[in-house]
Amino acid sequence: MSKTAILSKIPCVILCGGRSSRMGEDKSLLPFSNSNSLTQYQYDKLKSNFEEVYISSKIDKFDFLKNKEKYLILDKGEIFSPIVALQTILQTIKTEKVFIITVDTPLVSIDSINELINSSNESEICVAQTLKTHNLCGVFSTSLVKFINEMLINDIHKVNYLLKNNNTKYLDFPNNDEFINLNNKDEYKRALNIISKSNN
């Protein structure tokens, strides 16, 4: 990115509160590329594009993060649910919209992120789509809090339900590898191989 590039006014939140059950260990803390952790890799990359980058998690496990009082959003309660995380995020951040991305999608390019942001004006939600929909890679309006509150009252925790029942735009991208989720060891190794080749 050039030094004269304008940083996005929309804040960015990295979701790091999952169980990592298929990985067998906390994937947010796995080393990635030249970074000590996947979280730090995502954070450093996204800081080049956003004025403010927040981290959403169940607990504080991030040594590198400065000003945690502001930029660490802790999702209270015992339920592991992206909807609970979204509720906490959208209640905490006061801007009209927020860009959300999961910690385990490190290959999503800044160009694709900006395309999502630029395409989000006419919708409450704008998410990426390749061979499948990437429910937690996109722009979410903070006005969705009321709907999310109703979902949780009714014990509904599916992000897809949120997307289907609100004004959602699905933005198509051609490269499925760019949106790979690092859910297990094989996907982690594959992503490491892709990023290694791109750095050469």
Residue 1 has pLDDT above 50, yes or no: no
Q: Is the CB of residue 171 less than 8 Å from the CB of residue 111?
A: no
pLDDT confidence of residue 165: 98
Q: Is 107 exposed, middle or buried (0-12, 13-18, 19+ CB in 10 A)?
A: middle
* CA gap 47, 54 in Å, rounded: 10
- Band of pLDDT at residue 96, cut at 50, 70 and 90: very high
Residue 3 has pLDDT above 90, yes or no: no
**Coil/strand/helix, residue 100:** strand
- Band of pLDDT at residue 80, cut at 50, 70 and 90: confident
Sign of CA dihedral 75, 80, 81, 82: positive
End-to-end, the C-alpha distance of the chain in Å comes to 18
